[in-house]
Amino acid sequence: MPGLPSAARAVETRFAAWRRRLRPARRLKFTREGKFFVGITLGVGFAARAVWRRDAEPAVAIAAVVSVGFILAMFETKWPFSHNLLLMQPLLALLAAVVLDRVGAARWRGALGLLLLAMLAKVGVLCLVYTENPGAELVQKRLLEASSPGTPLAVPPPYNPLFRPNAFYFWFNPQYFVAAYLEWCALHGEPPLEVERDRRAWRERPPQFVYVPKDEPTWAPYDFASHQAQYGQTDIPGLWELLPRPRVP
């Protein structure tokens, strides 16, 4: 699509400007996963000392170097979300294992054992009670039953059943992406063609269904507030259906 490079650059520019404001969020994530990072810090310390003494195992030395690089990169990332930590966690777990292997005092080994049990308990509880994107399957099923393959929808993933076309160019997190795109166009003197196309879509080919998760208001399609009166709330919270247009006598 011709507007994709412009939109991508716009989002990059926007989030680059937000880095300083997002740093507290990164600190919050480090605090929230504090138990894990205690082991990380100690593991890096042990690994650094071993490298300095030239008796470090190659796997530990490599994991330490790459992990430190990942940690430093976190302070420059423009997408500081929890899943950005996934790539580093296997390496950091290896470093945390160094701590368990090197600590000899029974008191400290017992404390570290309790720490590990607490982490396992947390994971176990989350596996049982945590539900991300609740009701997604219900929304998908309703959309498949109530629409045809060519019916345009304004439903973000993972609620979108994938077998229906997106009504708009900005189909994911549109509130943020449209704002970034408009800002970039204003800075560089470019016409906001993709936003104009989405505005026309509301008139020429509006989505039959719009879904806005209650805990994710920024996932609402761009300019939905101006057209919400044309939609009626279904029995599924957050799912709106296009009302029949009144007949012109």
Position 247 in a domain = no
Check whether residue 161 and residue 66 sit in a common domain.
no
Phi, psi of 156 (to 5 degrees): -75, 160
Q: pTM above 0.75? A: no
**Cα 17 to Cα 188: distance, rounded to the nearest angstrom:** 16
Choosing from 77, 100, 129, the residue where a domain stops is 129
Q: Can you spell out the DSSP letters for 90-106? A: HHHHHHHHHHHHH---H
Q: Examine residue 179 and state whether it is found in any structural domain, yes or no.
A: yes
- Together in a domain, 73 and 97: yes
170, 184 contact by CB (below 8 A): no
**Pair (205, 111) in one structural domain:** no
pLDDT of residue 230: 95
Q: How high is the pLDDT of residue 21?
A: 40
The sign of the torsion formed by the CA atoms of 208, 214, 219, 221 equals positive
In this structure, the answer to whether residues 122 and 107 fall within a common structural domain is yes
Domain identity same for 89 and 41: yes
Q: What is the pLDDT of residue 19?
A: 42
232 assigned to some structural domain = yes
**Are both 183 and 150 inside the same structural domain?**
yes
Cα-based angle 22, 156, 135 (whole degrees, multiple of 5)? 105
CB distance 191 to 185 below 8 Å? yes
- Which of 110, 129, 148 is the last residue in one of the domains? 129
Residue 213 lies in a domain: yes
Whether residues 206 and 235 fall in one domain: yes
What is the pLDDT tens value at each position of the chain, 249 positions in all?
Answer: 444 444 444 444 444 444 444 344 444 444 445 555 665 666 667 667 766 776 666 766 777 777 777 777 766 665 556 666 677 777 777 777 776 777 777 788 788 788 888 888 888 888 888 777 778 889 999 999 999 999 999 999 889 888 889 999 999 889 888 998 999 999 999 999 999 999 999 999 999 999 999 888 889 999 999 999 999 999 999 999 999 876 655
Q: What is the pLDDT of residue 129?
A: 80
Identify the pLDDT of residue 44. Answer: 66
Give the pLDDT score at 77. Answer: 63
- Does residue 73 sit in the same domain as residue 98? yes
Distance CA 53, CA 38 (A): 23
Q: Clarify whether residues 67 and 116 are in a common domain.
A: yes
Do both 140 and 238 map to the same domain?
yes
Domain span holding position 60? 33-129
Task: Please count the structural domains in the chain.
Answer: 2
Domain co-membership, 187 together with 211: yes
Indicate the burial class of 175 (C-beta count within 10 angstroms; 0-12, 13-18, 19 or more): middle
